[in-house]
Amino acid sequence: MRSTLVFSVVLLLVGHAFVRADDAEQYNEIRQLLSSGKLEEAEKAFTLAIEAAPDSARLKTLYSHFYFYLNRAGRTQDAARYAEANVEMWLDNLARSPQMAPNIWRQVDSVTTAYVRLGQHELAVQKLDEIVDKVEALLAAKESAEVTALLVELRARKALLLASAGRTDAGRELLQSIQERAEAAVAMNGSDTSAILTLATVLSIRAQLEAGGEAGEAASKEHLNYLATQAQTHPASQAIVSAYLAAKTLALSHLVRSDAALAGTELATLREFLASLDKENQQIQNLIKTSERGLSSLESRIAAAKAQQALIGQSSFPLEAEAWVNGDDLTDKELEGKVVLIDFWAVWCGPCIATFPHLREWQDKYSDKGLVIIGATRYYSYDWDDATNRIKKVENLSTEDERAAMSRFAQYHELKHRFMVMPKDSRFSKKYGVTGIPQAVLIGRDGKVQMIRVGSGEANAHDLEAKIEELLAVSN
């Protein structure tokens, strides 16, 4: 790293005489610093490198990396600065290659999201307006269907920012006017793929704006039905069929959580539609082929969810414990009349660890009201490294040492609920339909399964906490 810094200084001293020298080493070293958490060193090195080679496309791709690592470190204000620089780079490229337009809104979203996280909602709106102005200038200089579509999308996304700033009515009014113009464009030329997809984007944003409640559900259906109709009307359009396939797959992924049987029926209908498409259209057939893996995965999720949802209302299964960690042993008798949350997890599972803040909160908030949380896990031969406060794989680790490691793991993560270590040949997780972790099983005071949720995320946490409160309110 030191040699890189010296080299950069030399470049500056000689008046940037060799600004196009190979920057691969600098790029790699800065990325290494970022991934190692040495953010200040990375920023210093980057400043020198970009001053020496201000036109380096390779170095400028680091803007997005800085955004990611600084944001993760809680330095949101600094992350926003790099996100803005990243957007400027993308806009410069857009002027030369309009085909890049469909990917730019994600870069813009990084900017506005950063300011929203900082609570600076109006500044987020202002930054979006400034970017829109720049895109308008590009479009004025050179007409482009891709840039036109991007401009409509960015204007529509302003409605979401206005809502986040507490101005939902203003957001609705703005989005309605944009939707009317998009509908008019489709009515004028019903075969214009760009216009069709632009209206689909606006309808999708409207569904996001109205998310939650009947209005959101209606908006989501309108968006999906519109794309389904367009895909049926234009079955030879790879872009339209692809948009419909993506939207339908996402909708089915959400539907699986509440009604796996219906999701299965709709997936079968989707497959029938894909099978009906022109076998001679190579683009369409390639799209179907590349989507098959995702559809098969969704099919497996639906099958698993059906089995899990069939458990709702059924009696819970007896505990299967080889040992208990982080507390005294529990018996089925002690759980009678309690609300029980069984959390299937493992020490190596990142998404499982992401649920810990909620588990800690629920333990503190509800344990004295009748909630019992049980972490169900297995032996995986992971020890705990006190020097790094991390787990480490150790072959032939004794079960006694692994339980001690679990205890230190629990202490480090401030977990107060008990862990049930299942026997090697246990079928406990299979009985609850576990195919992936984390999986939470919520059992009511009557001993019957009331809810199953798979995966981390705020939606699952919201559902579980609402159900916990509902079940705790039921008297013994």
Asked if the structure places residue 110 within a domain, the reply is no
425 and 346 fall within a common domain: yes
Q: Which of 259, 288, 310 is the last residue of a domain?
A: 310
pLDDT digits (tens, 9 = 90+) for 260-283: 999 999 999 999 999 999 999 999
Asked if the structure places residue 46 within a domain, the reply is no
Q: What is the pLDDT of residue 30?
A: 95
- CA angle at residue 289 from 285 to 291, to 5 degrees? 115
CA-closest candidate to residue 449, choices 286, 325, 339, 343: 339
Domain count, the chain: 2
349 and 260 fall within a common domain: no
Q: What is the pLDDT of residue 427?
A: 94
Asked if the structure places residue 98 within a domain, the reply is no
387 and 455 fall within a common domain: yes
Model's pTM, two decimal places?
Answer: 0.76
Q: What is the pLDDT of residue 3?
A: 40
Asked if the structure places residue 441 within a domain, the reply is yes
The secondary structure element, H or E, covering residue 358 is helix 356-366
288 and 412 fall within a common domain: no
416 and 462 fall within a common domain: yes
Positive or negative torsion for Cα 208, 211, 216, 221: positive
Spatial separation of the C-alpha atoms in residues 46 and 8, rounded to whole Å:
10
Number of neighbouring beta carbons within 10 Å of residue 306:
16
Domain holding 242, by residue range, is 235-310
345 and 421 fall within a common domain: yes
Asked if the structure places residue 286 within a domain, the reply is yes
Spatial separation of the C-alpha atoms in residues 102 and 217, rounded to whole Å:
26
Low-confidence ranges of the chain (pLDDT < 70): 1-22, 476
Asked if the structure places residue 122 within a domain, the reply is no
Q: What is the pLDDT of residue 1?
A: 40
CATH of the domain at 455: 3.40.30.10
Spatial separation of the C-alpha atoms in residues 70 and 75, rounded to whole Å:
5
Spatial separation of the C-alpha atoms in residues 80 and 78, rounded to whole Å:
5
Q: Which residues of 26-64 are buried (b: 16+ CB within 10 A; e: fewer)?
A: bbebbeebbeeebbebbbbbbebbbebbeebeebbebbb
